[in-house]
Amino acid sequence: MSLFNVFNVAGSALNAETIRLNTTASNLANAESVNGDESKVYRARHPVFQAMMNTADSSFDGQDASIGVRVLGVVESNAPAAMRYQPDSPVANKDGYVYMSNVNSIEEMTNMISANRSFATNVEAINTARDLLLKTISMGH
Amino acid sequence: MFENVFGIHEQALLLHGQRIGVLATNLANADTPGYKARDIDFSAVLAHTDESETLPMLVTQGAHIAMNDAGSPSAELKYRNPYQASLDGNTVEMPVEQAAFSETNVRYQASLAFINSDIADLKYAIAGQ
């Protein structure tokens, strides 16, 4: 019954959005991280979502009715890391420069709001499915 | 005499349940690049669902198991036409999906209420009081 699939599908979305919120928290926490070596500086991370085909459930004439979502991986942004002249920093390179992390705080904040909304929507879907199933179970009473 | 007590609502309930599952899938993949939103054309399926006849499950491959599950309407999933496509190829539009989801929620409960009242009628007829 499809109503039970709502729990699996929305649950997978909750998991994916949680990972998205985690990367956002990590990015915001490291927004001011610096390093003297450009290859070692913190780079903004973003999860890549992918639809999860469920071939076991094809009650729709061979089409997958329920498709969850999973995080395929986490990619690092390759935006250039800004240089800043800070000769007194303990991690400054020999020319006195440090590299700033390439996190865009505004982008991260909008990402966080979007993840928050998506999370809430999926919680609502789970609550609705639960209410409907409970009402169906008590049919005739 | 009791094989069709609930009329169309028995199948409508199943179909609404399936549609809620499909819409929840759309909601879950709202942020998935390239995902195409899908939906069941409810009235088209119900138009083919005569009260005395149920739609057969399609058997398109040898590995498919023929279903003789009476009262289980078969619905074809269709891709939704987005009002404005997004750059990442995702066609889920949150407000559209949420509106359809809550509409289906109400319709499911309406079918359930009709079935419940039918059951109450039957109980009344059986007990006679």
Cα distances (angstroms) measured from residue A72 to each of A52, A75, B29, B96: 10, 10, 13, 27
Contact A121 B94 (CB under 8 A): yes
B34 CA to centre of own chain: 25
Q: Which chain A positions have a beta carbon within 8 Å of B23's beta carbon?
A: 125
User: ipTM exceeding 0.90?
Assistant: no
Mean pLDDT of A59-82: 79
Count of CB contacts below 8 A, A vs B?
A: 120
With vertex at residue A55, the alpha carbon angle to CA A50 and CA A72, rounded to the nearest 5 degrees, is: 20
Q: Is the pLDDT of residue B70 over 50?
A: no
Residues constituting chain B: 129
CA pair distance A2, B26, nearest whole angstrom: 14
Q: How confident is the model at residue A34 (pLDDT cuts 50, 70, 90)?
A: very high
* Predicted TM-score of the model (pTM): 0.79
Q: What pLDDT does A54 receive? A: 60
Q: Which residues of chain B make contact with A62, given a CB cutoff of 8 A?
A: 58, 60-61, 64
Q: What confidence tier does B43 reach under pLDDT thresholds 50, 70, 90?
A: confident
Inter-chain CB proximity B25 and A68 less than 8 Å: yes
Judge whether residue B58 has pLDDT over 70: no
| Cβ neighbour number for residue B49 with a 10 Å cutoff | 19
pLDDT over 50 (residue B71): no
To the nearest whole Å, the CA of A76 is away from the closest chain B CA by 17
Place of tokens 């942004």: A77
Among B21, B27, B32, select the one facing A51 at the smallest CB separation.
B32
Q: Collapse the DSSP code of A74 into the 3-class scheme (helix H, G, I; strand E, B; otherwise coil) and give the result.
A: strand
Note the pLDDT of residue B50. Answer: 57
CB nearest to A140's CB, from B20, B102, B116 = B116
For residue B120, report the phi and psi dihedrals to the nearest 5 degrees: -65, -40
Which among B74, B97, B76 is positioned nearest to B14, based on CA atoms? B74
Distance from CA of B46 to the nearest CA of A (A): 15
Percent share of chain A, pLDDT over 70: 91
Asked if residue A25 has pLDDT above 90, the reply is yes
Average pLDDT on B95-113 reads: 94
Q: Is the CB of A2 less than 8 angstroms away from the CB of B20?
A: yes
Q: Which of B12, B124, B22 is nearest to B76 (CA)?
A: B22
- Please state, for a pLDDT cut of 70, what percent of chain B lies above it: 77
